[in-house]
Amino acid sequence: MCDRLSELTGGNEATFVILNDPKVGQHTHEERAQLRSLPLLKELGFSRFLHRPLWDNGFRMVEYEFIPTEELYERDELFPLVHVVSQKGLKETEVRRHEIPYTGEQHIVKDLLRKRSEDDIYILVTDSTAPKAPAISPSRPITDEYGPVTTVRYPDFVDEYVKTQLDSAIPMTTTRNYFFHQVSDHHRSHGLEGDTLLSLFDYDRIPPDSPAWEPLYFFVEHDLDQVLERYTERIRETLRSWLERGDVTDIANKMDEMLTRCGFRADRLDEQRQMNAEQYDNV
């Protein structure tokens, strides 16, 4: 794990990391993308995440362990931990469930920083390079109170990582979610070009082993009882925390179209993937 941490920090040995991602802040519906950093952090070997449940509604763009707030103090092992929270969230005061004797995420950060040892890896993903939490200090940033700390700008890091690790046709100006660049790289390895997000979800053409199929199985498994006329809106809601741009509706429509065609059945999705395999020689 330390080797992968070094990859993120550029060799700095500090185990407390501020990963600055402007999209973690509050945005309009089409500009949320609070969780876009998770796929890259998962690629780097981190799998345990803490964030507001509202931001993903149970949906996982990639598989990871989500820790509900009420379980934080019941666990013996927490670290390495990635905590995604906006600066606004760090200043909010809100009552927690199960009579936990504190309010607001600022107290969670404070408790975690106090609990961790100098070897415990704690990555705070936030929209500020100098995040402040009144519970820690009314005026000084967290980084002044707890150190040593390494600050990494997520946009710069993901730009360089994608450039050196993947052959993606998707412009970085379109998305900085590593998952979509992985999908593009995978498609290009099978000779399928496409420089738009929507092309990644052309389910009549994409390879049968494309990661773009996996979200469909989530909806089949978890949302069968919610198949309604407005089901596309359900998909849009799950995607908005992962996408920065206005492709959310079109991608949701593509997913809904394939789910409807397959009757929300996993076996029929498997059949469609097998049909796509006939289009490729190297699958």
Measured between alpha carbons, how far is 97 from 187 in angstroms, rounded to an integer? 44
Query: Two tokens at 174?
Result: 């379109």
Whole-model pTM: value is: 0.90
Residue range 233-248, pLDDT digits in tens: 778 888 888 988 778 8
d(CA 203, CA 127): 35
C-alpha separations of 132 from 68, 84, 137 in Å = 23, 14, 7
Q: What is the pLDDT of residues 189-203, one digit of tens each?
A: 999 998 999 999 999
Express each pLDDT in 129-159 by its tens digit: 999 888 888 889 988 888 789 999 999 999 9
Domain ranges for the chain: 2-157, 167-277
